[in-house]
Chain A
């Protein structure tokens, strides 16, 4: 098991200076830094394996195909999927959700219902709005309460035999709330509705077992779990993926083409038209190996401690209010400070080397709910330290003094 103290040396970018101060990187919910293993794997691929996958009979193509498929198996094990063909590689979580929302049109009729929640990222709102618009299905929204929990009573009322799919985030990217997805999945299945879970903020922070959850679709991005950008995963139950039509047409996804009719390839290739991000997919395996080596329970233990420590320190800052105070939270803290605009705070913290996120975090409905234009958001990864939190608190106090 790797300890936090020596993990930092594995991430080259953590050791740089920004504006003459050591970088404190607290924007992990946007993207995490990349480990040496991931970076070296990308280079190794292009230096020694580069070739298009699945098509060539030649030596290099065999090697790259094997590496690519080994990565699929690695993802399968990571989320405990039953079959590796249930793992579809995409561009990212957004792409995964769009794939399902687009293909699911085939299974929807006018007046069917789709349920999402008020705390979704725009990526889990807009594709469903588009889906509903084209099918005549209705979009129903689960409201959230003042501390940032889903209103489960409302959810139960919204669920009906008309509900065909429920698309919910596992962890809110702007509030940090961990949703009771197991319960949501059980309730939805009682009504024969499918469930898609947006796992963008959960995959790197807690163990996910798709079979145990009995979830129908689970989506996440490699770049939020120390891996490369441009690679996403869509897990789908084989039976349901087989019900869906292909997403895009092209190479790789076919079995037989003549000019008038095409039979499609079996899973997973049916949903993987065109040449994928081969290097990225292969490098994802390295990041999963690192996570496995540390252990998700160790990651959760450390990040929960960071969350508790930072929450207490932040609450001591006069005029600071944390937005999203559920008892079930992941290591994401959104906050506002009285009379200080998040943009000003973000600029000054950046000058002191602290990287945070400011704005609406692609969750404008949440900002409307809390009647605020945006928040400042701190989000942790396993490599963050208590010392960094102390420094960040000092920097916030200094910025506050300058701005008041």
Chain B
């Protein structure tokens, strides 16, 4: 059975609870970033760039069997790590569930305190863009 957004969030929170220092946590984020599949250069278009990020972020979405499938990439590895988590939570979900999602994992895994206003703005822009895609797919 497929997990809901909330259930995946709980999983991630549990995983991060295992780390008791920042080095392990960041190492894990770096590993996640490295394992995120690269997107094709043809998808790294101006239209796919998320503004408000300190590093470049490209986000692409398509609809498959009534679900939103997300792919994304960044030139910074730590950003890719965060993208990997976002994709794990929000990709392959139904548009309605994405639109209604109130994400709490960012705070709970202790990344919020490491995201300054500018960096958090980047993350917020990513989530906003994903929700906009979901909304577009829902009405189309």
Contact call A373/B26, Cβ cutoff below 8 A = no
Query: With A358-B54, A359-B54 as given contacts, are A344 and B23 in contact (CB-CB < 8 Å)?
Result: no
Contact with A along B1-40 (1 / 0, CB 8 A): 0000000000000000000001100110010000000000
Q: List the A side residues contacting B78 at CB < 8 Å.
A: 343-344, 347
Taking the complex as formed, is B125 at the interface, i.e. its CB lies under 8 A from any CB of chain A?
no
Instruction: For B79, give the chain A residue with the smallest CB separation.
Output: A343
Taking the complex as formed, is A161 at the interface, i.e. its CB lies under 8 A from any CB of chain B?
no
Contact call B22/A351, Cβ cutoff below 8 A = yes
Contact call A344/B22, Cβ cutoff below 8 A = no
Q: Which of A351, A359, A373, A403 contacts B30 (CB 8 A)?
A: A403
Instruction: For A20, give the chain B residue with the smallest CB separation.
Output: B22
Give bound CA distance, A402 to B34, whole Å.
Answer: 12
Instruction: For A346, give the chain B residue with the smallest CB separation.
Output: B54
Q: Which of A19, A351, A358, A403 contacts B77 (CB 8 A)?
A: A403
Chain B contact residues: helix, strand, loop or mixed: helix
What is the minimal beta-carbon distance from A60 to any residue of chain B, in angstroms? 38
Taking the complex as formed, is A341 at the interface, i.e. its CB lies under 8 A from any CB of chain B?
yes
Q: List the B side residues contacting A296 at CB < 8 Å.
A: none
Taking the complex as formed, is A348 at the interface, i.e. its CB lies under 8 A from any CB of chain B?
yes
Q: Which of B26, B56, B75, B79 contacts A348 (CB 8 A)?
A: B26
Taking the complex as formed, is B135 at the interface, i.e. its CB lies under 8 A from any CB of chain A?
no
Query: With A358-B54, A359-B54, A373-B56 as given contacts, are A343 and B26 in contact (CB-CB < 8 Å)?
Result: no
Instruction: For A347, give the chain B residue with the smallest CB separation.
Output: B78
Chain A contact residues: helix, strand, loop or mixed: helix
Taking the complex as formed, is B64 at the interface, i.e. its CB lies under 8 A from any CB of chain A?
no
Number of A-B contacts (CB under 8 A): 32
Instruction: For B74, give the chain A residue with the smallest CB separation.
Output: A341
Contact call A402/B26, Cβ cutoff below 8 A = yes
Instruction: For B54, give the chain A residue with the smallest CB separation.
Output: A343
Query: With A358-B54, A359-B54 as given contacts, are A341 and B22 in contact (CB-CB < 8 Å)?
Result: no
Contact call A373/B22, Cβ cutoff below 8 A = no
Contact with A along B68-79 (1 / 0, CB 8 A): 000000011111
What is the minimal beta-carbon distance from B34 to any residue of chain A, in angstroms? 10
Taking the complex as formed, is B55 at the interface, i.e. its CB lies under 8 A from any CB of chain A?
yes
Q: List the B side residues contacting A403 at CB < 8 Å.
A: 30, 77
Contact call A341/B26, Cβ cutoff below 8 A = no
Q: List the A side residues contacting B56 at CB < 8 Å.
A: 373
What is the minimal beta-carbon distance from B46 to any residue of chain A, in angstroms? 15
Instruction: For A399, give the chain B residue with the smallest CB separation.
Output: B26
Query: With A341-B77, A359-B54 as given contacts, are A402 and B30 in contact (CB-CB < 8 Å)?
Result: yes
Contact call B76/A343, Cβ cutoff below 8 A = yes
Contact call A402/B27, Cβ cutoff below 8 A = yes
- A314-359 CB contacts (< 8 Å) to partner B: 341, 343-344, 347-348, 351, 358-359
Give bound CA distance, A347 to B113, whole Å.
Answer: 12
Contact call A341/B30, Cβ cutoff below 8 A = no
Q: List the A side residues contacting B30 at CB < 8 Å.
A: 344, 402-403
Q: List the B side residues contacting A351 at CB < 8 Å.
A: 22-23, 26, 114
Query: With A19-B22, A403-B30 as given contacts, are A344 and B77 in contact (CB-CB < 8 Å)?
Result: yes
Q: List the A side residues contacting B77 at CB < 8 Å.
A: 341, 344, 403
Instruction: For B75, give the chain A residue with the smallest CB separation.
Output: A341
Give bound CA distance, A402 to B25, whole Å.
Answer: 11
Residue of A344, A359, A402, A403 with highest tally of chain B CB at under 10 A: A344
Give bound CA distance, A373 to B75, whole Å.
Answer: 10
Give bound CA distance, A19 to B75, whole Å.
Answer: 26
Give bound CA distance, A343 to B23, whole Å.
Answer: 17
Give bound CA distance, A359 to B56, whole Å.
Answer: 11
Q: List the B side residues contacting A347 at CB < 8 Å.
A: 26, 78, 114
Q: List the A side residues contacting B27 at CB < 8 Å.
A: 402
Contact call A341/B23, Cβ cutoff below 8 A = no
Q: Which of A19, A343, A348, A402 contacts B55 (CB 8 A)?
A: A343
Contact with B along A376-404 (1 / 0, CB 8 A): 00000000000000000000000000110
Give bound CA distance, A380 to B73, whole Å.
Answer: 34
Q: List the B side residues contacting A373 at CB < 8 Å.
A: 56, 75
What is the minimal beta-carbon distance from B102 to any residue of chain A, in angstroms? 26
Chain A residues within CB distance 8 Å of chain B = 19, 341, 343-344, 347-348, 351, 358-359, 373, 402-403
Given contacts A344-B30, A402-B23, A402-B30, could you give 13 more A-B pairs where the C-beta distance is less than 8 Å? A343-B55, A343-B76, A343-B79, A344-B76, A344-B78, A347-B26, A351-B26, A358-B54, A373-B56, A402-B26, A402-B27, A403-B30, A403-B77
Minimum-distance CB pairs A-B, first 4: A341-B76, A343-B76, A343-B55, A344-B78
Chain B residues within CB distance 8 Å of chain A = 22-23, 26-27, 30, 54-56, 75-79, 114
Write 9 A-B pairs (CB below 8 A) sorted by A numbering: A341-B77, A343-B54, A343-B78, A347-B26, A348-B26, A351-B22, A373-B56, A373-B75, A402-B30
